[in-house]
Amino acid sequence: MSQYRPMTEEELRERVRKLKAEYNPDRVDMFTFRGAQYDHGLAWVHFPEGYGGLGINPKMQAIVADELRKGVETVYDDLAINPIGIGMGAPTLMTYGSDELKRALLRKCFTGEEIWCQLFSEPGAGSDVAGLATRAVRDGDDWVVNGQKVWTTLAHVAKWGLLVARTNPDVPKHEGLSYFLLDMHSPGVEVRPLYQITGEAEFNEVFLNDVRIPHRYMLGQEGQGWQVAITTLMNERTALGGGSTQKGGGPIQVLMQLWNARPPKRHAPAEAAVLRDRITRLYIESELLRLTALRARAMMRAGNPGPEGSVGKLAQAELYKKIWECGMDVLGEEALVYEPGYALRRPAHEERRDKVLLAKYQFLRSRANSIEGGTSEIMRNILGERVLGLPGEPRTDKGIPWKDIPRGG
Amino acid sequence: MDFAFTPEHEELRQTVRRFLQDRSDEATVRRLMVTEEGFDRATWAQLAEQLGLTALIVPEEFGGSGLGPVELAITMEEMGRTLFCAPYFSTAVLATSVLREAASDAARQELLPAIAAGKKIVAVAWAESPGIWEPADVRLKAQHGRRGWTLTGEKTAVIDGQTADEILVVARTREGLSLFRVSGSADGLQREALPTLDLTRKLARVRFQKTPAECIAASADVEAQLQRAFLLGLVALAAEQAGGAQQCLDMSTQHAKTRWQFGRPIGSFQAIKHRCADMLVAVEFAKSAAYHAAFRAAEGDAGELDAAARMAKSYCSDAFFQVANDTIQVHGGMGFTWEHPAHLYFKRAKSSALLFGDPVHHRDKLAAIIGV
Ligand SMILES: Cc1cc2nc3c(=O)[nH]c(=O)nc-3n(C[C@H](O)[C@H](O)[C@H](O)COP(=O)(O)OP(=O)(O)OC[C@H]3O[C@@H](n4cnc5c(N)ncnc54)[C@H](O)[C@@H]3O)c2cc1C
């Protein structure tokens, strides 16, 4: 019944070994290695051949990851390389893009040569993405875009942006949107850093002034932007809610290392007992986050992330915040010093940090976990309504043309 | 592999579910929970003869189905959903595991076929006040005299201890931990049904006064074997808790869709909707914990099982209690009444959380395993 081509685990492993034999990741540079991985169909195994895949069951990707890890130092973390491009852009492009766009963009997306960003949120439209105001007006073969986006992660290094804009203000909000791929180097795109709670600027304001986008860069049909955006958002939540794939890995590992590096002696016995129980609880939840993601994957019909991913997104956001809060309590007065201070700066894309520094940084950074990619409140609405089937909110904007919907200040 | 449920597993689940829909509806649970025995002998016979559930984990050589922890977890989860009143956990899970893991061949030969056929109720007595649940902590002593072994002392929270035909007793001899078999009609055996918080699960205090007992396991391995049986008990209980939690969530969701206030269903209020969403997360995690533990138990790796079982028991205890608690809140005044089933789940949740070691106890053990 599967639409996927059959392939045995051994055949797939052999393919990975062959790739590594020809291109040893410890010897060639990242772009070369990942380019070869793409050409061997090992980027997204469920994508068709010629598009970085083999047309086989996506479950098999785990086998590729496993085999890639063997006997080498260099293992690339996809999501660190190009989180938005790989996590959300590629599946959206695969579903809605033309062959021409797929051929032009997928390979460099996978290698990380071209970083992607997501231009959804606006000052007036965050949780309510469909309420956005950025306008795109057709002019010959182009669309001319004007508006402002905000909180755009990686916009400063991105080559491509996933852009949703309003192409018709006279229909209800979900119907008047269209979805574009924007070349971030186009004239009229201005990116300004936005400094965050950590002192860093991962995200930006993006101003769009008479930016021209050729019509062939539209994904899906005119007015279909919301459906396309849903694909992106679903993939975003799945990407954000999987936890660590390694047993005891991820944030909980750092917390346990911090705890074990600091003998409980420095805490009063009662305090140590409480902290130990807290850490164990967090360990259990981390494990269950990982196991629930495995369960969801085992149940999910391949390739179509459903609302199950949202359990992970909500649970992970709340859990990671608790883990890093606990980290501060483990550190005690050591946590009062915040190296290297709040000197405003743009973070390097791939940065590794000392565990103690990481914990202090993450204490602040993890506040975003319950906001980015959909707030915990929005996730609870989705779980309540789509999974449990509870009635929706009474809507004041239903059926009303977007231009007539009341807006706050 | 994790969570690899087969079509046979699904079928088992459906069979058990259909049976319980029929034989363990709310009215039946309420009727049985106030009787002294606490269960229905005719249903028990059907469960054994038609469904073969009492034989589930009994090895084939003793007339059983020879299935394992995964099938057991599925069955317990379904039983947890309906608060099925029967000596299933005591007899088909605990006693069977203890016999399977630790007992002499002779004892297995005598007891397991009878259990498999649904002909004997067998309880396991290992808990002792205060807070002694783990086999390793057992203190009750057995003496060897002219006429063989006798037991003196007290066990508590013996599930179905009042009705059991036989009681398996974990006790200490000079050699270490051993397993004894005591007939329900033995001299010097005093059984006292305890008035319980959770009416749907019967507990007894059992006193031994020079009570004659047969030693059915005394090797050096007994402690490890009993420990394994204990962990299997935790896994089964965790699955039962996950089932109870799922049922609470279903009741709450159903209610939130149909109860109207202020001109709209209460489920459209975020305070209720969001509570339900948090319950969903807890239920999904509880299932992950219980299934994971069941698969680890099936694999038979003792170290992995130790961690997984303790993780499951502590998480499922907290999750079930939280969800049962929220269920009362979502149901408002109705949820506080005797008529509504919410309190039955709430009481089961707290009592299962405290049975066999509470969440803090198991986290303490887990912390040592994972090196915290
Ligand atoms: C670190 C970070 C990176 C980000 N990166 C990107 C990016 O790359 N691209 C991009 O497009 N966006 C990005 N965002 C934006 C993010 O998607 C939005 O911040 C988010 O969707 C919330 O929108 P908002 O900030 O406008 O908050 P609002 O929508 O104004 O929400 C404010 C509060 O109201 C609550 N609320 C709103 N609506 C409801 C409702 N219906 N029911 C209950 N409560 C509600 C929210 O939960 C929240 O608590 C990023 C955000 C952060 C923090």
A46-94 pLDDT, tens digit each: 999 999 999 998 888 889 998 999 999 999 988 889 999 999 999 999 9
pLDDT > 90 in chain A, percent: 74
> What's the A399 CA to ligand 1 centre distance in angstroms?
24
Q: With a threshold of 0.90, does the pTM exceed it?
A: yes
Ligand 1 pocket member A198 (CB < 6 A): no
pLDDT of A314 higher than 90: yes
pLDDT band per the 50, 70, 90 thresholds, residue B227: very high
Per-residue pLDDT band for A340 (boundaries 50, 70, 90) equals: confident
Look-up of token digits 């994904």: A219
Of A252, A261, A256, A250, the residue nearest A334 (C-alpha): A261
With a 6 Å cutoff on the Cβ, whether A167 touches ligand 1 is no
The full 3-state SS of chain A, as one line of letters, equals CCCCCCCCHHHHHHHHHHHHHHCCCCCCCHHHHHHHHHHCCCCCCCCCCCCCCCCCCHHHHHHHHHHHHCCCCCCCCHHHHCHHHHHHHHHHHHHHCCHHHHHHHHHHHHHCCCEEEEECCECCECCCHHHCCCEEEEECCEEEEEEEECCCCCCCCEEEEEEEEECCCCCECCCCEEEEEEECCCCCEEEEEECCCCCECCEEEEEEEEEEEEHHHEECCCCCHHHHHHHHHHHHHHHHCCCCCCCCCCHHHHHHHHHHHCCHHHCCHHHHHHHHHHHHHHHHHHHHHHHHHHHHHHHCCCCCCCCHHHHHHHHHHHHHHHHHHHHHHHHHHHHHCCCCCCCCECCCCCCCCCHHHHHHHHHHHHHHHHCCCCCHHHHHHHHHHHHCCCCCCCCCCCCCEHHHCCCCC
C-alpha to C-alpha distance for A180 and A217, rounded to whole angstroms: 6
Among A54-58, A207-211, A367-371, B323-327, the range scoring the smallest mean pLDDT is A54-58
Instruction: Give the alpha-carbon dihedral of B170, B171, B176, B181, to 10 degrees.
Output: -60
- CA dist., res. A191 & res. A209, Å (int): 11
Give the tokens for residue B149: 């072994």
Q: Average pLDDT for residues B180-193, to the nearest whole number? A: 97
**The pLDDT value given to residue A343:** 82
Q: What is the pLDDT of residue B241?
A: 98
pLDDT at A345: 86
Chain B residue whose CA is closest to A386: B277
For residue A290, what pLDDT band results from cuts at 50, 70 and 90?
very high
Average pLDDT, chain A: 91
Q: What is the pLDDT of residue A80?
A: 85
Q: Which candidate, A229, A384, A247, A226, places its Cα nearest to that of A311?
A: A384
DSSP B77-127: HHHHHHT--STIIIIIIIIHHHHHHH--HHHHHHHHHHHHTT---EEEE--
Residue of B nearest to A312 (CA): B281
A279, closest residue in chain B (CA to CA)? B372
Does residue A303 carry a pLDDT above 50?
A: no
Q: How far is CA B268 from CA A306, A399, B140, B221, in A?
A: 22, 19, 56, 57
Distance between CA atoms of residues A400 and B5, nearest Å = 48
The sign of the torsion formed by the CA atoms of B50, B53, B55, B60 equals positive
CA pair distance A129, A122, nearest whole angstrom: 8
Q: ipTM of the predicted structure?
A: 0.94
Ranking A238-247, A304-313, B24-33, B134-143 by mean pLDDT, the lowest is A304-313
pLDDT of A304 reads 42
Residues of A in contact with B285 (CB under 8 A): 285, 288-289, 292, 315
Residue B89 has pLDDT above 70, yes or no: yes
Identify the band that residue A264 occupies on the pLDDT scale cut at 50, 70 and 90.
Answer: low
**B14 phi, psi to nearest 5 deg:** -65, -40
Q: At B277, is the pLDDT very low, low, confident or very high (cuts 50, 70, 90)?
A: very high
Which run of H or E residues covers position B76? helix B69-82
Which of B273, B278, B317, B362 to mutate against chain A (most A CBs within 10 Å)?
B273
Give dist(CA A278, CA A273) in Å, integer.
9
Looking at the predicted structure, is the pLDDT value of residue B272 above 80?
A: yes
Going from the Cα of A128 to the center of ligand 1, the distance in angstroms, rounded, reads 8
Q: How confident is the model at residue A244 (pLDDT cuts 50, 70, 90)?
A: low
Write down the pLDDT at residue B1: 58
For β-strands B122-125 and B166-173, DSSP reports them as parallel
Question: Contacts of residue A288 in chain B, CB cutoff 8 Å?
Answer: 285, 288-289, 311, 315
Looking at residue A409, what is its pLDDT?
66
Measure in Å the smallest separation between the Cα of A153 and chain B Cα atoms. Answer: 28
The answer to whether A292 touches B284, Cβ cutoff 8 Å, is yes
Q: Do A384 and B274 touch (CB under 8 A)?
A: yes
- At B181 the pLDDT is 97
Q: Does the pLDDT at position A354 exceed 90?
A: no
Residue B337: CB atoms within 10 A of its CB come to 11
What is the pLDDT of chain B when averaged over all its residues? 96
For B105-112, what is the mean pLDDT? 96
Strands A135-139 and A203-214, sheet pairing: unpaired
Q: Helix B222-258 vs helix B302-335: angle between axes, to the nearest 10 degrees?
A: 30
Higher pLDDT pick, B211 / A2: B211
Q: What percent of chain B has pLDDT over 90?
A: 95
d(CA A292, CA B3): 10
* Interface touch B270/A381, C-beta < 8 Å: yes
Query: Cβ distance A86 to A94 under 8 Å?
Result: no
Contact predicate A64/A40, CB 8 Å: no
Nearest CA to ligand 1 atom 52: A372
Q: Which residues of A are catalytic?
A: 236
Please tell me the distance between residue A177's alpha carbon and the centre of ligand 1 in angstroms.
19
pLDDT of residue A243: 64
Q: Which atom of ligand 1 is nearest to the CA of A154?
A: 8
What is the pLDDT averaged over residues B138-144?
Answer: 96
Q: How far is the CA of A152 from the centre of ligand 1 (A)?
A: 12
Residue A383 touches chain B, beta carbons under 8 Å: yes
Chain B CB within 8 Å of residue A292 CB: yes
* Nearest Cα to Cα of residue B75 among B98, B52, B59, B96: B52
Q: Would you say how long chain A is, in residues?
A: 409
Q: Is the CB of A116 under 6 A from ligand 1?
A: no
- B276/A390 CB distance under 8 A: yes
Query: Who has greater pLDDT, A240 or B251?
Result: B251
Q: Name every chain A residue with its beta carbon within 8 A of the beta carbon of B314.
A: 284
The verdict on B197 touching A (C-beta cutoff 8 Å) is: no
CA angle A62–A39–A213, rounded 5-degree value: 100
Residue A346: per-residue pLDDT: 86
Q: Which of A88, A117, A151 to mutate to test the pocket of ligand 1 (most atoms within 8 A of CB)?
A: A151
A294 pLDDT exceeds 90?
A: no
- pLDDT, residue B240, reads 98
Give yes or no for residue A402 having a pLDDT over 80.
Answer: yes
> If you measure from the C-alpha of residue A377 to the centroid of ligand 1, how many angstroms do you get, rounded to a whole number?
10
pLDDT at A225: 97
Look at B273 and A281 and tell me if their CB atoms are within 8 Å.
no
Give the H/E segment covering residue B309.
helix B302-335
Where does the pLDDT of residue A265 fall: very low under 50, low under 70, confident under 90, or very high at 90 and above? low
pLDDT score of A306: 46
Lowest mean pLDDT among A17-26, A62-71, A294-303, B185-194: A294-303
Q: Do A390 and B280 touch (CB under 8 A)?
A: no
